[in-house]
Amino acid sequence: MKKQRNIAVELDPSLPVEEQETEFVERKGLAHPDTMCDSIMEAVCLALCKEYNDRFGRILHHNIDKGMLVAGRTLPQPGGGKIIEPMKIIFGDRATYTHNGTVVPIGDIAEDSAKQWLHKNLRFVDPEINIIYQNEIKPGSPELIDAFSRPVIGANDTSAGVGHAPLTETERLVLEAEQYLNSNTFKDAYPETGKDVKIMGFRKNRDLTLTAAIAFVDRYIRDEKVYFEKKQVIRKNLTEFIRCKQQSIENVSVLINTLDDPERGEEGMYLTVLGTSAESGDGGQVGRGNRVNGLITFNRPQSLEAAAGKNPVNHVGKIYTVLSHEIARRIHKEVTGVRDVTVYLCSQIGNPLDEPLQASAKLILEKDTHLDDVREPVASIIQVELAYIGVFIEQLALGKYGIC
């Protein structure tokens, strides 16, 4: 195992997020247009990884991280509305179409992957009827394609990834709230709720406000009275769920669909035909949603890299971003005295992935723990994770790590 000389372990002088007066955390749920884009383009990426491996024994150059979801047009109304114009998914960026004389059907793979994801995850969306597919994936540049043929495949870019651990209580509650609202158990109990759920958590001291946007499915809503009654029942249910999960949070307030206005009739309700705002109200784009830990954490350092759809072989915007979170989680779990850790990994284009320009861990320590007590074990974890980055990449290409 190569000895890394570019590992820094230092104290983080900032106040722990849990102790800051205010905290903001967001999660965009499964059928939010941005999450749909991320999830579908990542599904295409994983399918291409498998196709390249099956055909050629290795993954070839591709990046499918410029996808877009164009909103359709619907006319929701109590009892069931109409679909006027379907949504459109545009696949973008680059992929290897031919190798050693063999043609790879990139467009077909992209469309099939999207349909499979939609069929599995969105119960009201018919992938054959409600979606139009547009393939704008182009062949890659010669230099980028050649990089995949070199004995040592170096970093594709000079970039940095950042990850942190552990989750704050607010982060955990926001994540668990959305997962609960989109769970099979909840959908069985409340079929009128679509999977387009967005949660914004705002904590001030020990008081937490959760503002949820939940797309209601119009076929289950007979009239305005039913809508507002169901919304109130769901608000109470979610409030009880959070209260059972909270630890140091003292007071919880849950608000749902705050744009609603009972005096505006049908126009004052958040109704959809298919359970997603993408059907009519909002488009989506890769990279505008959750970070790789499933959250948008405004009090934390974050990378602007869009991990979804990027190749898992040399694209550090994906590899280092996901790996930094994994390293942070391991440090927090295994090193006694580490209260909070932020890990930075910075690449240098062309250099091997196991030799970053710099790897850095910034630590907030428990009382009576000193930096000298933890420096060596923290550096050792980083060293080992970088040494086995090849194994990590293999797992990443198999979809073993969630990224949205």
Q: Please report the pLDDT score of residue 145 as a whole number.
A: 75
pTM of the model: 0.95
Same-domain status, 127 and 162: no
Q: What 3-state class would DSSP assign to 68?
A: strand
Same-domain status, 129 and 164: no
CATH of the domain at 357: 3.30.300.280
Q: Which residues pair with 202 in a beta bridge?
A: 24, 209
Could you say which residues of the chain have pLDDT below 70? 1-4
Sign for the pseudo-dihedral over CA of 309, 312, 313, 314 = positive
CATH of the domain at 182: 3.30.300.340
**CB environment 330-363: b (16+ within 10 A), e (fewer):** bbbeebeebebbbbbbbbbeeebbbbbeebbbbb
Q: Please report the pLDDT score of residue 4 as a whole number.
A: 63
Contact 269, 224 (CB under 8 A): yes
> Structure tokens of 61?
């150059």
Closest CA to 44 of 274, 311, 258: 311
Q: Please report the pLDDT score of residue 1 as a whole number.
A: 61
Same-domain status, 255 and 276: yes
CA dist., res. 342 & res. 12, Å (int): 8
Domains in the chain: how many in total? 3
Q: Is residue 25 part of a domain?
A: no
Residue type, 296: I
Q: What is the 3-state secondary structure (H, E, C) of 178-201?
A: HHHHCCHHHHHHCCCEEEEEEEEE
Q: Please report the pLDDT score of residue 3 as a whole number.
A: 64
Q: Please report the pLDDT score of residue 266 as a whole number.
A: 77
CB-based burial of residue 160 (10 Å sphere; 0-12 exposed, 13-18 middle, 19+ buried)?
buried
Domain span at residue 303? Answer: 7-19+155-168+289-397
Same-domain status, 389 and 336: yes
Q: What 3-state class would DSSP assign to 77?
A: coil
Sign for the pseudo-dihedral over CA of 94, 127, 308, 196 = positive
CA dist., res. 103 & res. 109, Å (int): 12
Q: Which of 285, 314, 336 is the last residue of a domain?
A: 285
Q: Which residues pair with 359 in a beta bridge?
A: 7, 345
Q: Please report the pLDDT score of residue 149 as a whole number.
A: 79
Q: Which of 270, 285, 300 is the last residue of a domain?
A: 285
Query: CA 204 from chain center: how many Å?
Result: 25
Same-domain status, 184 and 126: no
CATH of the domain at 134: 3.30.300.10
Question: HSE on the CB side for 355, CA within 13 Å?
Answer: 11
Q: Is residue 272 part of a domain?
A: yes
Within 218-315, strands assigned E span 251-256, 271-272, 284-285, 296-297
Same-domain status, 138 and 163: no
Q: Is residue 28 part of a domain?
A: no
Q: Please report the pLDDT score of residue 135 as a whole number.
A: 98
In which residue are the tokens 């990224």 written? 403
